[in-house]
Amino acid sequence: MLNFIDTVGEAVAGIQDGSTVMIGGFGNAGQPFELIDALLDGGATDLTVVNNNAGQGDQGLALLIKEGRVRKMICSFPRQSDSWHFDAKYHAGEIELELVPQGNLAERIRAAGAGIGGFFTPTGYGTMLAEGKETRIIDGRGQVFETPIHADVALIKALKADGKGNLVYRKTARNFGPIMAAAAKHTIAQVSEIVPIGGLDPENIVTPGIYVNSIVKVA
């Protein structure tokens, strides 16, 4: 069921300790900062977080990590010039890291939403990121078996929602939003604008409302 919610605090209130939470965004583009801040305020802990990075600077996901609320990160690029909170936790052995090539991350998230039980991909074959994984040669190419990444909750940012929960995004802020919305049991979208049913062109919907559970407008 779709709900329009007044505040980000109410939107994330149901997130339980121990949840797997997908967070959209690549760099700042598409990051649902307000929802992440609300998650920080809400107190849920022991989280597994799926995001392309592992937090930057002193905001958002980086603070969630600093506060010890993230048990495990699943990401492709945790090391950045300003990822000091992750660095500290990692070196202290206080956070687990599952490092995933970015395309495998995207495809594994997509597989979860699409009901795929697992797939073979050439990405990573012959590298240390394939160690311990099933491999096979298909049409002459070495391939690695990868499994879907499901989540309890997805926090994403979109440009507009209509009254049916259909979403459209803006430029490269689209990134992980559509696939995370489909992979999570419960998807919470923060949007800049809510338009009436019929206010978005059916040809141009990027995320159909079937994938969206909660919508909150963020000014």
Partner 1 sequence: MSLQSTSLQTRDMPLGRDDLARLVARDIAPGSFVNLGIGQPTLVSNYLTEEQNITLHTENGMLGMGPEAKGDEIDEDLINAGKIPVTELPGASYFHHADSFAIMRGGHLDICVLGAFQVSATGDLANWHTGAPGAIPAVGGAMDLASGAKDVFVMMTLLTRDGASKLVEHCTYPLTGVGCVTRVYTDKAVFLTGPDGVIVRETFGCTLEELQELVPLPLQSAAAVGV
How many angstroms separate the CA atoms of 42 and 51, rounded? 19
- Residue 63 CB, nearest approach to partner 1 (Å): 19
Q: Can residue 91 be called a binding residue for a copy of itself (CB under 8 A)?
A: no
- Residue 43 CB, nearest approach to partner 1 (Å): 28
Contact, 57 vs 85, CB < 8 A? no
Q: Can residue 166 be called a binding residue for a copy of itself (CB under 8 A)?
A: no
How many angstroms separate the CA atoms of 67 and 94, rounded? 11
The one of partner 1, a copy of itself, none whose footprint includes residue 1, by CB under 5 to 8 A per kind, is partner 1
The one of a copy of itself, partner 1, none whose footprint includes residue 26, by CB under 5 to 8 A per kind, is partner 1
Piece in contact with a copy of itself (CB under 8 A), picked from 18-26, 28-36, 51-59, 165-173: 165-173
**Among 18, 4, 5, 20, which residue's Cα sits nearest to residue 183?**
20
How many angstroms separate the CA atoms of 189 and 8, rounded? 10
Binding mask 120-149 vs a copy of itself (x if CB under 8 A, - otherwise)? Answer: xxx-------------x-xx-x-x---x--
Give the residue, chosen from 35, 47, 90, 189, that forms a contact with partner 1 under the rule CB under 8 A: 90
- End-to-end CA gap in the chain: 24
Total of chain residues touching a copy of itself, rule CB under 8 A = 25
**Among 106, 109, 110, 199, which residue's Cα sits nearest to residue 159?**
199
Contact, 41 vs 161, CB < 8 A? no
Contact, 53 vs 78, CB < 8 A? yes
Bridge-based pairing of strands 70-75 and 96-99 is parallel
What is the residue type of 206? V
What is the residue type of 52? N
How many angstroms separate the CA atoms of 14 and 16, rounded? 6
The one of partner 1, a copy of itself, none whose footprint includes residue 117, by CB under 5 to 8 A per kind, is a copy of itself
Taking the least distance from each CB to a copy of itself, the nearer of 77 and 125 is 125
Q: Can residue 138 be called a binding residue for partner 1 (CB under 8 A)?
A: no
Binding mask 13-42 vs partner 1 (x if CB under 8 A, - otherwise)? Answer: -------------xxxxx------------
Q: Can residue 210 be called a binding residue for partner 1 (CB under 8 A)?
A: yes
Residues that bind a copy of itself (CB under 8 A): 107, 111, 114-122, 136, 138-139, 141, 143, 147, 168-171, 201-204
